[in-house]
Every structure is written in structure tokens, then in C-alpha cells.
């Protein structure tokens, strides 16, 4: 190899790197990635403390990674190369049978699980209303048969047994059985971590006895297809771009139902924001699952025409968003609290709003990793 050729290759490489540096500097920082459905790191503020502690460099590294020009393209190229090389996983997402993407479920931290179960148990013991407790097994459990051969996958069923035993004062609702019974149906999205409306319906039937109602037969409803172009969170994180989109459907009509989200302004005053059971404006953006109740919210209240029915409080994650429509025939009000954002006393809220019963409902992966459950008993 000649010296001139080596110099040429070195110069070409430097020019390539320089081009990307210039492109990164010239490209405005993005605040949100629709493809990944998350907020992106912004340029950190430089201070003496952050520089000396190393926090500035840590945040700056995250910033440059998030804002790297062509990021979405590079993620897609990485996943495609993994597939060509015969690998079945990228970014902790398995490429599974039936065009399905499933997030790997790792063995959770035992201390965190025990701690979170203790918070639930303390909550049950601190309130004077009946509490139902349940965890939702996800694709990695119910659709484990779709996983690649030999794919590491921690058990969720053992955690369900542990949860049931750890909170004896609550009524346990078995959601595993109805989901397993219907595992050959489209009960989860193939590109998202949530259950579908059909899966939520079967979960609703599993909650019926514990919450004291008879479920409405599914054939009473007419399925309404809302979108056939849904790519969810698992699609975004995987980098996969070769799978077909999911379909979003609803069953329960929203006639006579109101939804109000409560937030707080800069002075601490409560602000009411009207929402709806199905916010179809989200069907025009990537985060289409947020059409259910309008997406994440600290506190939401759903009111139905059934004024003679009890009031239900759900302490929950986003799986409840597509479940709530099925619960509306059985309750006058459904109050939804997300502990990632709600930091006030739940016991006080129960008393002040005349809540008759409570439901603590999370998916297994969210429950075992959530670090906000201590707010349940504050």
C-alpha cells in the first residue's frame, strides 16, 4: 500500500468525521423523537459543580448520542445488520415469530420487588375501603412461545404468586388465566408493550369478580377500527423497520362519558383540562396509543351517566388507559392516579372524593422497576 494511498484514506476519513461534526453543529437540537416516543437530552448547563462532579460530561455524552445527526437511520441500520448476521435481538428486543417484537424481561431486583409489594400492603392497611390488587403478565410471558429458541426470559408467573401472597389484605384478581386462555388471539400489540383493546377486555373479565360486577359480553359491542398504521414503543426502541403495523380498535362507545385531567400551574393552583375517552387527534401522530384518555396524566377523572354506581380509584400505569372504557358501565366515576406524577396524599384523596373502592394495577415489568410506589402511603 503506497504512502499516497494511506494519506488519501486518512484524509477521507477525517473529512467524513468532520462532515458529521459540522452537520451535528448545524442541525438544531430536537426536543422529542417521534420514532422513539421520548424526550431527547438537551445541551446541559455548564457549572463548576457539574464539571467537577463529572455530571456535565455524563449529560453531554447523552446529549451527543441523542442529537447525533441521522440517529434514527443509524439505529435502523444497526438492527438490520443484526438480522443479517442471524441475531434475534437488538436493544433488548427479540425478533419473534408472527412478525412480533417482544421486549426482553430480565430477572428483577428482588429487593425492589419486595419493597414495592410492601408499599402496596401498607396502602391496603391504611385505607378503609376494599382494595383489589393485580399485575398484568405481558407478551414475554403469555407469548413466550413466539420467542427465539433459547432466548433468556425471566419468569413472570412466579412474581404473580409472590404478589398475591405479599398483600393478603387485598383481593387478588387473576389476569393471567383469561389472557393465557386467549393467547392465540391479538391480545397484545406486536410492536408495542401494551395490551390491545381485546386484551384489555379479557383483563376486564379477570377483574370482574374482585370488583363485584358481571362483565358485559364482548359480542354486545361492535369493534371500531381506529388505525391500521400503529407502530408502538417496542418498534421504536428495537430499530426494526421491516415489520407490518398494528391495528388499534375500540369497542365501548363514549356516549355520555366525560374525562377531565387535573394539573397544577406555576403557583400551585389546580387546573382542569378537558379530555375524552378517545382522543382521535393522536391518530395523526406516532404515539397513537395516547388516543386512550389522551395519554399520560397525573390525575384523571372519568364520569359516566351511571350516577347510582360506586366510585373507583385506580392507581396504575398506562395499561389502564385502554381498560377504562370497559369499566364505565359499572362505575359512576373512575379516578386515575399515576404515581410518576401525582405526589399528594392518596388517603386524603379517597376521603375528599368519596371513593368506594380502589384498584392497584400495573404490568409486571412496570411494577418491578417502578421507584414511585412509596407515594402510595405518603
Question: Which tens digit of pLDDT belongs to each residue from 321-334?
Answer: 999 999 999 999 99
Residue 55 to residue 228: CA distance in whole angstroms = 43
Q: Is the pLDDT of residue 136 over 90?
A: yes
65 CB neighbour count, 10 Å cutoff: 11
Mean pLDDT of 261-273: 84
pLDDT band at 241, cuts 50/70/90? confident
Q: Which of 262-266, 294-298, 366-370 has the lowest mean pLDDT?
A: 262-266
> In sequence order, what are the residues at sequence separation of 6 or more whose Cβ sits closer than 8 angstroms to the Cβ of residue 188?
138, 139, 142, 143, 194, 195, 196, 199
> Which pLDDT score is estimated for 66?
63
Question: Which tens digit of pLDDT belongs to each residue from 281-301?
Answer: 999 998 999 999 999 999 999
Residue 72 to residue 79: CA distance in whole angstroms = 11
Three-state secondary structure call for residue 92: coil
- For the chain, the helix, strand and coil percentages under 3-state DSSP, each to the nearest 5: 40, 20, 40
Question: Which tens digit of pLDDT belongs to each residue from 245-255?
Answer: 999 999 999 99
- Using an 8 Å Cβ cutoff, are 153 and 144 in contact? yes
> Which pLDDT score is estimated for 53?
77
pTM of the model as a whole: 0.82
In the chain, at which residue ranges do the beta strands (DSSP E only) sit? 32-33, 38-39, 89-90, 93-96, 100-103, 131-136, 171-172, 224-230, 246-250, 258-264, 270-275, 299-303, 311-316, 333-337, 357-363
Mean pLDDT of 153-175: 97
> Which pLDDT score is estimated for 266?
72
Query: Dihedral of the CA atoms 183, 186, 191, 195 (nearest 10)?
Result: -80
* b/e map 169-193, b = 16+ CB within 10 Å: ebbbbebbebbeebbeebbbbbbbb
Residue 315 pairs in a beta bridge with 337, 360
> Which pLDDT score is estimated for 89?
85
> Which pLDDT score is estimated for 161?
98
> Which pLDDT score is estimated for 26?
58
Q: Is the pLDDT of residue 20 over 70?
A: no
Amino acid at each position: 500500500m503506497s504512502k499516497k494511498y494511506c494519506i488519501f484514506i486518512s484524509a477521507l476519513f477525517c473529512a467524513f468525521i468532520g462532515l458529521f461534526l459540522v452537520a451535528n453543529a448545524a442541525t438544531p437540537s430536537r426536543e422529542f423523537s417521534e420514532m422513539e416516543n421520548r424526550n431527547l437530552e438537551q445541551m446541559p448547563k455548564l457549572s463548576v459543580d457539574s464539571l467537577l462532579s463529572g455530571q456535565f460530561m455524563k449529560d453531554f455524552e447523552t446529549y451527543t448520542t441523542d442529537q447525533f445527526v441521522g440517529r434514527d437511520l443509524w439505529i435502523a441500520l444497526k438492527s438490520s445488520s443484526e438480522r443479517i448476521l442471524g441475531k434475534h435481538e437488538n436493544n433488548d428486543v427479540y425478533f419473534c415469530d408472527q412478525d412480533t417484537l417482544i421486549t426482553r424481561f430480565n430477572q428483577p431486583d428482588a429487593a425492589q420487588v419486595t419493597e414495592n409489594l410492601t408499599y402496596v400492603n401498607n396502602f391496603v392497611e391504611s385505607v378503609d375501603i376494599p382494595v383489589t390488587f393485580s399485575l398484568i403478565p405481558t407478551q414475554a410471558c403469555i407469548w413466550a412461545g413466539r420467542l427465539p429458541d433459547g432466548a433468556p426470559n425471566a419468569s413472570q408467573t412466579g412474581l404473580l404468586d409472590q404478589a398475591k401472597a405479599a398483600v393478603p389484605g387485598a383481593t387478588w384478581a387473576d389476569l393471567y388465566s383469561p389472557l393465557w386462555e386467549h393467547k392465540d388471539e391479538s391480545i397484545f400489540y406486536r410492536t408495542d408493550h401494551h395490551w390491545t383493546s381485546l386484551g384489555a377486555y379479557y383483563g376486564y373479565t379477570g377483574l370482574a369478580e374482585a370488583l363485584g360486577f358481571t362483565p358485559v359480553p364482548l359480542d354486545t359491542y361492535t369493534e371500531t377500527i381506529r388505525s391500521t398504521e400503529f407502530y408502538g414503543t417496542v418498534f421504536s426502541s428495537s430499530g426494526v423497520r421491516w415489520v407490518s403495523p398494528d391495528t388499534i380498535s375500540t369497542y365501548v362507545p363514549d356516549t355520555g362519558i366525560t374525562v377531565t385531567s387535573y394539573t397544577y400551574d406555576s403557583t400551585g393552583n389546580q387546573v382542569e383540562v378537558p379530555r375524552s375517552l378517545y382522543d382521535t387527534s393522536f391518530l395523526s401522530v406516532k404515539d397513537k396509543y395516547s388516543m386512550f384518555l389522551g395519554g399520560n396524566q397525573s390525575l384523571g377523572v372519568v364520569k359516566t351517566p351511571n350516577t347510582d354506581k360506586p366510585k373507583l380509584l385506580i392507581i396504575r400505569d398506562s395499561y389502564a388507559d385502554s381498560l377504562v372504557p370497559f369499566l364505565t358501565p359499572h362505575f359512576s366515576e373512575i379516578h386515575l392516579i399515576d404515581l410518576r406524577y401525582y405526589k399528594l396524599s392518596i388517603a386524603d384523596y379517597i376521603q375528599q372524593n368519596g371513593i368506594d373502592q380502589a384498584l392497584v394495577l400495573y404490568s409486571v415489568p412496570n411494577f418491578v422497576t417502578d421507584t414511585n410506589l412509596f407515594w402510595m402511603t405518603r
